[in-house]
Amino acid sequence: MPQRVPAVDAGSGPRVESAAMTKPAPQARHVDIAGARAGVQDVFETVRAHRLVSVIRAADPAAALEAARAVIRGGIALVEVTYSVPDAPSVMRQLVEEKPPGVLIGAGTVLTEREARAAIDAGAVFLIAPNVSGAVAGVAREAGLFYCPGAYTTNEILHAVEMGAHLVKVYPVGVAGGPDYIKVIRDPLPRVPLLAAGGTNLDNVVPFLAAGCVACGLGGALADPALAAAGRFAEIEARARAFVARAASFAAPPPMRA
């Protein structure tokens, strides 16, 4: 049976689904130390349930690792270790080995095929990027991995879907357009799952969710690299708890339709 991620039912209009949403799942199962690696549907449902993706950036691997641990302690279930972190795959690998049940570790700022393959080797279960790359999309399809590329205009978003996106990162909508922009593009694209990113914060998370985003990516407003560099991980944890509480205050998302 084909592996299908339901499109978001946000109203009437033409149905838009990516090739990756209907591509048969690879016969071989990826396995990590905790058992079977989370598949596309597992990641998608975790994104929908938790609505927050933490973005980890830091000047060194040790700071990145501690920042990731802090957001996990604060209740964030999706951790994106970006390739702006030196030796990012080593951080991903360590987090995969020690993460508690229910937490998913992925890679961010994945710009090349080489980076995508290294992230998969490290145990990442999703790939996020600020752009659409045919090479990265190809690796994600080949591995049966959840893929979330970046786009902004409706044309770019539809191109991302055509390239196999399971979720499209609308970037940097937090500083360019805001929730009102999401509301506008939801009209012609009611069933494309969107992630708000780039300038998201504690004040606009709920407005983005209300506008139709499946989830929000959280960068400097959560795991600020300056806080990590200063060793202020307790503050990062406290921020995580605040974001989790704020997201939980939003009403349950509408039901999905296969």
pLDDT in tens, 142-164: 999 999 999 999 999 999 999 99
Residue 6 belongs to some domain of the structure: no
Distance CA 45, CA 26 (A): 19
CATH, residue 194: 3.20.20.70
Arithmetic mean of pLDDT, 169-197: 97
pLDDT at residue 134 is higher than 50? yes
Strand partners, 55: 80
The pLDDT score that the predictor gives to residue 254 is 52
The more confidently predicted of residues 257 and 121 is 121
Q: How confident is the model at residue 185 (pLDDT cuts 50, 70, 90)?
A: very high
Residue 253: what pLDDT?
Answer: 52
Q: Does a structural domain hold residue 22? A: no
- Per-residue pLDDT, averaged over 186-207, amounts to 97
pLDDT of residue 17: 43
Q: Is residue 70 part of a domain?
A: yes
Is 50 exceeded by the pLDDT of residue 26?
no
Judge whether 258 lies within some domain.
Answer: no
**Alpha-carbon dihedral sign for residues 253, 249, 77, 128:** positive
Answer yes or no: is 42 within a domain: yes
Residue 138 within any structural domain of the chain = yes
Domain that holds residue 90: 30-247
Q: Is 123 among the domain residues? A: yes
Rounded Cα distance between 40 and 60, Å, is 30
Predicted confidence (pLDDT) per residue in 220-248, tens digit: 999 999 999 999 999 999 999 999 999 99
d(CA 117, CA 253): 33
Among 29-33, 56-60, 96-100, name the one with the lowest average pLDDT. Answer: 29-33
Q: What is the pLDDT of residue 100?
A: 97
Q: Mean pLDDT over residues 22-41, rounded?
A: 50
In the predicted model, is pLDDT for residue 167 greater than 90? yes
User: What band does 37 get if pLDDT is binned at 50, 70 and 90?
Assistant: confident
Number of domains in the chain: 1
Mean of pLDDT values over 47-59: 97
Kindly report the pTM of this predicted structure: 0.86
How far apart are alpha carbons 167 and 161 in whole angstroms?
8
pLDDT of 6 strictly over 90: no
Average pLDDT in the 93-109 region? 98
50 occurs within a structural domain: yes
pLDDT range class, residue 101, cuts 50, 70, 90: very high
Convert 124-143 to b/e letters by CB count within 10 Å (16 or more is b).
bbbbbbbebbeebbebbbeb
